[in-house]
Each structure stands twice: as structure tokens, then as C-alpha cells.
Chain A
């Protein structure tokens, strides 16, 4: 029984951590309709920045904020490449993803893995110290859920501001944004900044939980985030009362659960990324089928 609870806790912890990234990618992929590959580079960016900061003794909550800002800056670069230099969205993402490899190495001082055991992280200092006794094993889950929900609520709030409404229009009907005297390209850059900021934030949380940063931790993040977005928004497609950002977090948890179940059933670790790709493919295909059915229904009435 304890093993099952441990597994569930593990799924939820990781689900929420990657959920932080997924709500950001929801902005770029669903709201702006931009498949952003740079998240594979900005996730470890968040981790590496955090490792450097925490080793230097910076407050771990500040490290979260700085990681977000660094990710957002990288997202701006993707946006500038795409919008101002007119490079396709996929290629702009790849360029930033590749260049992040070097940036991350520079930040870590050339090592692929940076550890910071026994340093203050959000999970072992400050409010984390309040969790005592039985609660101690739940502190990671409580804290990551807290960060994830705060990020989600902030994004929900943002999407209802003037800037947020304009961002949604930029994805839906760029011509309308132009009619309002604004440049839809600028809104795309803002969206990519938010998406990558959240991704780096997720990277920072994961690094703090593991007390180490790995520059290879970004591989497959695009697939993970997009799968969470697609799974989440499809499952809750009919439920109008569930906000898309909430749905995406559930998507992330569900996706993690699938992976953990597969591993528990005896799938060797080597097959993990393959399984990630397979689940993503299934999600994409069903998404496509659901979309088509929706369109047909739309035509018939």
C-alpha cells in the first residue's frame, strides 16, 4: 500500500512540475498556434541557472524568479528570430534549442551535471521547514502544487487583461490585431517569452527537487509538454467549466501516470523516450480525429 501511495505521490509531484511547463506551452501551442521547440533548451536553462544561483547562495525563491526571467529572455530570442527575421517557427525554435546547449554549458562552467546537495532549496528551507513529522514526505508535492497553481492562476488573470485579450486575438485572427493598430508579431514574442519563462521555471523547480541540474534534462520536453496540452484540452473539451490551464495540468499528471504505469508493468527504462513519443502520437492522432468530427458537426448544423 505504501508503495502505491508513494507512486501516486511521485506521479503527482512530477505531473505538477511538468504542468508548470505545460501551461506555458499551452500559451504558445494552443493560444498562439506556434509549435515551439525551444523548450527543449529552456528547460535545462532554468535548471542550470538555478544550480549556479543556489551554489552562490541566492534565495531559492529568487532563483525561481530569475530562472523564469532567463527562460523568458530565451523565448524572446525565438520570437525575434521568427517574427522579425521571418525564420519559420520550427526553425527558430531549433536554433534557440541548439544555442541553449552552449549557454547552459557556460552557466555550469563546462560540466554536464551540477550538484548542490545541502544547499537551501524551496524544499528544505523557509516554509518547507514548517512541514514536520508525517507531513514531511508530502512537502514536495504540496510545494510543487502550490507553484503550479499560482502560475496557472497568474496566467488565467493575464489572459483576461487587455494584453492577454490581444494575445488571444493574435493567435486567433492576427488581422484583427492589426485592425486595432497593434503588431501581432509583438504579441507572439510576448507569448513565446511567457511559454519559455514557465518552462525554465519548471526546470528550476525540478533542479531544486533533485538538488542537481543536468544539461541533458531538456530532451523530450517538447513532446512531454505538447502531449500534456493535447491530452488535457481534449479530455476536457466538452467541459466548459474547466479552464484550459487546469485541463493542461491534468493532462500533464495523466501523461506522467501513463509513463509510470508502463514502467511499473516492467517496461525497461531505455524505452521511456520511445513510449513518450508513442503516447504523443496517439494523442495527436485522436486530437486530429476529434477535430475532424467537430468540424463535420459544425457543417451539418
Chain B
């Protein structure tokens, strides 16, 4: 199975990545031996793959929550291998599968937005919520069409998972980003909320021209959204389609591919 790699324009680049979990122990998992992925600027990439294929680990390597054994990770030409997770967060935005991770539940919607609005600046002793920005926050919340603009003084803990996830997405894209990372961010939501959040994702990505990496188990979303689709399997890219080839793709093509892989595995 030949793996195609788009090497010419790598705004985001993972090169020759090696990653082994618990090396030398009985629990050793050799995940990536020579992983390569290049993402051009402003591309929206959907990632699919079976459980344990390495999707989350790939995102963790980019965000810095898991260190790579060796290789090179660059964003916008800058080597980020040695940056800590919170340092990378300054230009990488991430929305998690768990809706409670992307906001602070105890703080109000307003306080959450004010904190996020200040990202990249200093968090000193000035007033947390700048009154002059409240109208702007309201106008951003209106985009969600969830009525949250009338609830800005409620703690986020009192919102539903779908509402929280929509808010997390909005918050995460409030300041300029080099890369937006979405890890099954609709998986915990009911079909309707997940539809809403997915549409919002598309709208925000287009509005801000974000370079985006989205992991999903929903093949319909993987096909319907984004400019490029890659499939991971056992730490390697087994399918990489973009442009017209991607538009022509059907859910059935992907399920066939999944089946083909598991037959190769002898299941």
C-alpha cells in the first residue's frame, strides 16, 4: 500500500516521527516508526481511522501533551519540538471530545470569554472582564444561535454538553491561531447538537481561514467537510485524498477501505 505524502507545502509538518509507549516493558506499544504529514496553510484536514490507530497521539504530539521520541515538528517554519504544551497553545487551538475540557465550568460564560480574549497578553491584576468588550462577546455568542447571549452571567457548568462544546469552539478561535485541532469534538453530543457544532466549525474555519486538523469517527462529516481526508492505520497513513478525489468520495468507499484493512490484519 503506497502512502502518498504531500511534501511541497508544509505549513504544519510532522517529519520522521518516532513514538513508542512504555519502551522496554511488557506494555510496549510501538506506534509511529517513521510518521510523516505535511499540511499546507489554510487546509482543512479530516482524519479517520480505527480505534488505536494513533489519531489522538498524533494530535498530542502536535500539541506537546505527549513528547515525540525523535523527528521534527514544525508550524509555520518554526521548530516547536522543544516548546511545552502551554507554550504551543499560544498558536495552537484545541477542542477536545470531552466538552468540559474546553472551558472553565465554575466561571461564567462572560468570564470564560474574557479570559480567552486575553490569550497571548499578560494575566495581571487588571479587571478580569472588560466591560467595553461585552457587546462584542454577545455578538460572537449570537453566531451560535443557542441563545447563550442572554445567559452570559451563568456559570458554564449549567450549560448542556452541546452548548459547552459550541462555546469551547468559539472561545478557542477567538484569538488568531496557526492550527486548530479538533479531536472527535462532536462525539459526545446528540445528533442534533453534533450537527450544529459541525456547521459552526465549518463556518468558523472558513471565516478565519484556519488550518485545521479534525479527527472524527463520523464518516459523513469526514467526507462532507474539509479539503482533504486521511486515514490512519497502525501509526501510518493508508489513505490520503484531497480536491476532486475527495469530493468524489462516498461513505461506502471508506467503509470498504476499513474492511480491506481489517482483512489484511487477518480479522
Contact = CB atoms under 8 A, between A and B. Distances in A.
Q: Do A and B bind each other?
A: yes
Contacts of B87: 181
Interface stretch (B1-9, B19-27, B41-49, B95-103): B95-103
Interface in B100-134: 100-107, 111, 114-116, 118-120, 122-129
A181 B90 contact: yes
A159 to B, nearest CB: 9
Contacts of A168: 104, 106-107
30 contacts: A160-B127, A160-B128, A161-B126, A162-B118, A162-B123, A162-B127, A165-B111, A165-B114, A166-B123, A168-B104, A169-B104, A169-B106, A172-B104, A172-B105, A173-B100, A173-B101, A175-B96, A175-B101, A176-B103, A176-B104, A178-B86, A179-B93, A179-B102, A180-B115, A180-B116, A180-B118, A181-B90, A182-B86, A182-B123, A183-B86
A158 interface: yes
Interface residues of A, number: 22
A168 B123 CA distance: 13
B90 A176 contact: no
Nearest to A176: B104
B125 A180 contact: no
B85 interface: yes
A178 B125 contact: no
A247 B120 CA distance: 35
Contacts of A175: 96, 101
B128 A172 contact: no
A27 interface: no
A163 B122 CA distance: 9
Most chain A CB within 10 A, of B96, B104, B128, is at B104
Contacts, number: 79
A158 B126 CA distance: 9
B172 interface: yes
Contacts of A182: 86, 123
A177 interface: yes
Given A169-B115, A172-B106, A176-B103, A162 B94 contact: no
Interface string B65-109: 000000000000000000011110110011010001111111100
Given A173-B101, A179-B102, A163 B124 contact: yes
Contact of B126 (A162, A176, A180): A162
A121 B98 CA distance: 55
Contacts of A181: 86-87, 89-90, 119-120
A158 B125 contact: yes
B110 to A, nearest CB: 10
Contacts of A180: 89, 115-116, 118-119, 123
A220 interface: no
The 7 closest A-B pairs by CB, nearest first: A181-B90, A169-B104, A162-B123, A165-B128, A181-B89, A172-B106, A178-B86
A35 interface: no
A179 B102 CA distance: 8
